[in-house]
Amino acid sequence: MMTAEQMIAALGGTVEVAKAIQAPPSTVSSWKTAGKIPRWRMAEIERLAKDKGVSLAAQAAP
């Protein structure tokens, strides 16, 4: 699975994710700093990824 920072970037960035889950951008930014997204928020993140057609699986290096 991607890191929190990679997931947020793939989903459009801090502000985009914050708007989608109705949270302050500072909350999403703190996830990047901590390196993890709270487990109770992952369902929202996975739903957002599905809606955007984004895979959260780790990308293999070329």
Phi, psi torsion values for 30, nearest 5 degrees: -65, -30
Phi, psi torsion values for 24, nearest 5 degrees: -65, 145
At the fourth CATH level, which superfamily is domain 4-52? lambda repressor-like DNA-binding domains (1.10.260.40)
* Structure tokens, 24: 């302050």
Mean pLDDT of 18-34: 97
Q: What is the mean pLDDT of the chain?
A: 92
Mean pLDDT of 7-29: 97
What distance in Å separates the CA atoms of residue 44 and residue 62, rounded to the nearest whole number?
A: 30
Query: Any idea where the domains of the chain sit in the sequence?
Result: 4-52
pLDDT digits (tens, 9 = 90+) for 34-60: 999 999 999 999 999 999 999 988 765
Question: How many C-beta neighbours within 10 Å does residue 53 have?
Answer: 6
pLDDT > 90? residue 61 = no
pLDDT of residue 59: 62
What distance in Å separates the CA atoms of residue 47 and residue 61, rounded to the nearest whole number?
A: 26
pLDDT of residue 1: 75
